Structures are given as structure tokens and as C-alpha cells.
Amino acid sequence: MHLEGDKKKPAPKISILHLHSRAKAYIAMDDLNAAYADADQVYLAEKQKAGYISMRTEKLAEAEALRDSIRKKKAESNKWIIPACLI
């Protein structure tokens, strides 16, 4: 029940460092979709920071590399393996 003066509390903001660590944990658990979602959030946050200072930072490069490595793993896991007897 909401009273007139009550406001909904905003969802807690998850830190970039936490998202980065969680993405790596998802990779270890082989949950590439969740890992990519977190890595993409890290990349976008770092890109926003780098754009603010008009520089390409080391953290942005790391976030981009993590995101690209997850994207590559997802692409490799989606490839079909054809048995040699069918070739």
C-alpha cells in the first residue's frame, strides 16, 4: 500500500568493478549470455567515462577486450560440429 508521501526506492546501482568480476564468474560457469550482458554494461560505462574526457583509457580497452572475447566464445559455441563420417 502506497501512501501519498511514499516513493519507490530506486534499484541499487551495481559498480563497474562488480559487473566486471561477475562477467568473469559467468564465463567460468559457461553462462555466456549473462557474461556478455555484464561485459557490455561495463564497456558502455567505461566508454561513457572515456568520452567525457575525450580519451581512450586502458580500462575501456580492457572492457572491450573482455566483451570481444565473450562474443568470440559465443560464436564458437554456436558452430555445428559435423562428424567425419558425414563428410
Helix-then-strand count for the chain, H and E: 3, 0
Residue 22 pLDDT: 96
Burial of 35 (0-12, 13-18, 19+ CB in 10 A): buried
Domain range list for the chain: 16-75
SS3 30: coil
**Tens of pLDDT, residues 7-63:** 888 888 899 999 999 999 999 999 999 999 999 999 999 999 888 777 778 999 999
Q: Do residues 32 and 26 touch, judged by C-beta distance below 8 A?
A: yes
Other Cβ atoms within 10 Å of 19 Cβ, number: 19
Q: Closest Cα partner for 43 from 14, 19, 72?
A: 19
